[in-house]
Amino acid sequence: MDSAHDVLVIGGGNAALCAAISARRAGASVKVLEAAPRFYRGGNTRHTRNMRCAHDTATDTLTGPYTEDEFWDDLKRVTQGHTDEELARFMIAKSKDMLPWISAQGVRFQPSLGGTLSLGRTNSFFLGGGRAMLNALYQTAEGLGVEVEYDAEVVALEIEDGMFLSATVKRQSGLETVRAGALVAAAGGFEANIAWLKEYWGPPAENFLIRGTPYNRGTMLRMLLDKGVQEIGDPTQCHAVAIDARAPKFDGGIITRLDCVVFGIVVNRDAERFYDEGEDFWPKRYAIWGRLVAHQPDQIAYIVFDAKSLTSFMPSLYPPISASTLEELAGKLELDRAKFCATVAGFNAAIVPGGSFDHTVLDDCRTQGLTPPKTHWARPVDTPPFYAYPVRPGITFTYLGVRVNQEARMIMTDGRPAANMFAAGEIMAGNVLGRGYAAGIGMTIGSVFGKTAGEGASRRARN
């Protein structure tokens, strides 16, 4: 049985819902197809917590202004220039209107508390987190009459000369063709598609853990690229952080992250250190350690620290592995005992005496004559009990996407904009975020381009 709508939104996260709501508010009939089951709806939005929007003054929930220029500077810095300036500046300008708009869709914000104070000026925190935000958006969308379907993966697209005609959706009951006047693709990246990751990473990708749901398979992205939409972003790259190796393969989310490399040393399977643990602050170190571990044998490493540091960082889901001696710890980690002890002893011996430890600044605790060095926060690992966290690369998202213009309209390989195909969210994030990450920017991309795409799709479909 066929069905027809003005706008078809494929995906179910923040970008998809912003598109669906704005299209519906503009008068279009809207259908949302979410591949995941209802509980897992929303892709990576489930695991988000805040969004980064420019604003001229402090508000109830933001401690100070965050100008467009400052936002642009931050974006330029984290992407190291891998961004489309025109599109990025458009997004930043539009981000100013997003906080009131998102609030008007029922999403609530709260002041940043506890461990996130450093983002209190720039980022707006969702009350209750990303799933609460999604619940509000879905409730608003359904209240407006948007049709939402779960467990509905799109497996084929009918596209002719840059013109979307229909999508084939796979359900338990079989295949169905859904026609629509315009398409909004907001179905995320391919981080949960291990086979695809292996194309770039080879067998090591088998050892990657995926921080979001298993439904971010990139099916839509693959089909769009195959149908002649221009690609953007480095296909080989993904945002990878070091997470607890005991985390589940998928959807471990925020609670498996570890941010304690500064408090000790990190060794690989061969009980060797491989990178300066004291190089920099969060978030820079947070974002590099996933890739560092990915390049180690068996894609595993161990953060080793002692009793001095146990309560110095945010607790995480799994308790550290502990032992009263370094030998015993090596045994529990199944590392070569002699080598492990030698590595720790060598590190301890290389510490320049007299440093004054302060993990809130780039302090003067460092090693000398050690390769690799630990340039800050170096304190001897000598106070039992000793602790270790096993870590693996945790993949947050991928950078490959479809190219879009300021209308969020997809650009075909011949450089012409597609007639009625729009994209929003992670599937096109590579346009503005070609590299790196800044907290909350994924949600900004999703909301701004989602709303823009929804408005454009509605206009196109109803013409």
Interacting residues toward other proteins by CB under 8 A: 39, 46-47, 49, 108, 110-111, 113-115, 125-132, 135-136, 139, 248, 251, 253-255, 311, 314-317
Closest to other proteins by CB, 257 vs 273, is 257
CB of 285 to other proteins, least distance (A): 19
Q: Tell me which residue of 299, 285, 44, 65 sits closest to 188, measured CA to CA.
A: 44
- E-state strands within 198-341: 209-210, 231-232, 238-244, 265-268, 301-306, 321-323
CB of 275 to other proteins, least distance (A): 24
- E-state strands within 220-333: 231-232, 238-244, 265-268, 301-306, 321-323
CB of 17 to other proteins, least distance (A): 14
DSSP track, 60-75:
SS-SS-B-HHHHHHHH
CB of 47 to other proteins, least distance (A): 6
- Is residue 214 classed as helix, strand or coil in its secondary structure? coil
Closest to other proteins by CB, 39 vs 282, is 39
Closest to other proteins by CB, 50 vs 420, is 50
Phi, psi of 63 (to 5 degrees): -85, -10
| Phi-psi category of residue 298: left, alpha or beta, with phi > 0 → left and psi -120 to 50 → alpha | left
CB of 259 to other proteins, least distance (A): 11
CA distance 34 to 9: 9
CB of 249 to other proteins, least distance (A): 10
DSSP track, 227-238:
TTBPEES-TT-E
Q: What are the distances in angstroms from CA 251 to CA 19, 37, 86, 326, 455?
A: 25, 14, 34, 33, 32
Closest to other proteins by CB, 81 vs 115, is 115
Closest to other proteins by CB, 132 vs 165, is 132
Closest to other proteins by CB, 136 vs 205, is 136
